[in-house]
Amino acid sequence: MFRSACYTAATFLLVVLAGIMGALLIGGWPAFQKFGFSFFYSSVWDPSNDIYGAAGPIVGTLITAFLSLLMALPLAIGVAVFLVEFCPRILAQPIATVVDLLAGVPSIVYGMWGFFVFAPWFAAHVQLPISQSFDPESFWGKFFAGVPNGANVFTASVILAIMILPYMASIFRELFLSVPAAVREAAYGLGCTTFDVVKSVMIPFVQRGMVGGTMLGFGRALGETMAVTYVIGNAHGFPKSLFDSGATIASTIANEFGEATGLHQSALIAMGLVLFLMTFAVLALARALLNSQKI
């Protein structure tokens, strides 16, 4: 009796996952049927004529997640190494706890801070000077083009990076701590500098786990909604420059699903399915790598 109750609850989790996918498949089916493959490569998003292509938000999602990873990864490794190797012992535990706690701050708080504090500052003190210092027709001029209101792909990536940084740093720290002390000490005993130990002993030891942790951060950045929605500018179509406004799948759903009907609604759900499959693949790979590291 009790055993089968437990078993039912466990299999219920499988049902939930299948149920989420099923719902997105049912809801998104009309859009897939209508637009076929062009749904994935067309960037036309025109609710007034009922034509939808998801390429813009898909690319926006990938770009912001990738850029945020690019910024957060070196910092997260730096923080983790600092906590394990350089930090005075009395401070290491409190700082690590704070980092862990920061990883749990609701994403809407990051989004708000980005919207009210970071984006205006960035527009006035970074974006404007940069775009003025280049000829608008030159390559760099085009690369940095955009409306100077601070709501663009780059700002969204920065906010995402700040959000996933504590999360990744916390995973990396645990990985580094799992390296046996004897191995590290042996390397130091051979005359290695801290850099040598980290580069040639610690990182190779936890390589797979680090790739897994990085992908976990990537997966979070892909599916994040509230930290992105306020600061990305919400424009469909491909972002044309680093400081151009864009959209991600999650931000588009959050902005439009409430008012959408018919095919528009279906297109949003279809986009949700794309996001689901992307994050599922990334997270599954991340978990497989992390589990093989056994921390």
What residues between 106 and 165 interact with another protein by CB under 8 A?
106-113, 115-117, 162, 165
**Both ends of the chain: CA-CA distance in Å?**
34
The one among 56, 151, 279, 289 contacting another protein by CB under 8 A: 279
Among residue numbers 5 through 44, which ones bind another protein (CB under 8 A)?
Answer: 5-14, 16-17, 19-20, 23-24, 26-27
What are the residues facing 14 on neighbouring strands?
A: none
Q: Which of residues 79 and 131 has its CB atom nearest to another protein in the complex? A: 79
- The nearest distance, CB 222 to another protein, in angstroms, is 7
The one among 194, 201, 211, 240 contacting another protein by CB under 8 A: 194
For position 226 contacting another protein by CB under 8 A, the verdict is yes
Q: Count the site residues for another protein by CB under 8 A.
A: 83
C-alpha atoms less than 13 angstroms from C-alpha of 36 in its C-beta half-sphere: 0
The one among 44, 238, 287, 293 contacting another protein by CB under 8 A: 287
Return the axis-axis angle of helices 207-223 and 262-293, rounded to nearest 10°.
160
Phi, psi of 167, rounded to the nearest 5 degrees: -60, -50
Cα 280 from Cα 274, distance rounded (Å): 10
- The nearest distance, CB 145 to another protein, in angstroms, is 26
Q: Which of residues 126 and 145 has its CB atom nearest to another protein in the complex? A: 126
Closest to 67 in 3D by CA, of 183, 153, 132, 144: 153
Cα 239 from Cα 142, distance rounded (Å): 12
Q: Which of residues 110 and 205 has its CB atom nearest to another protein in the complex? A: 110
Report which DSSP code applies to 235: -
Q: Which of residues 166 and 237 has its CB atom nearest to another protein in the complex? A: 166
The whole-angstrom distance between residue 23's C-alpha and the CA centroid of its chain comes to 24
Among residue numbers 248 through 267, which ones bind another protein (CB under 8 A)?
Answer: 250, 253-254, 257-258
For position 176 contacting another protein by CB under 8 A, the verdict is no
- The nearest distance, CB 221 to another protein, in angstroms, is 10
Q: Which of residues 13 and 90 has its CB atom nearest to another protein in the complex? A: 13
Q: Which two tokens stand for residue 40?
A: 């994935």
For position 292 contacting another protein by CB under 8 A, the verdict is no
Closest to 246 in 3D by CA, of 101, 20, 64, 7: 64
The H or E element containing residue 31 is helix 2-35
The one among 195, 207, 262, 295 contacting another protein by CB under 8 A: 195
The H or E element containing residue 169 is helix 153-177
The one among 169, 179, 187, 235 contacting another protein by CB under 8 A: 169
Report which DSSP code applies to 246: B
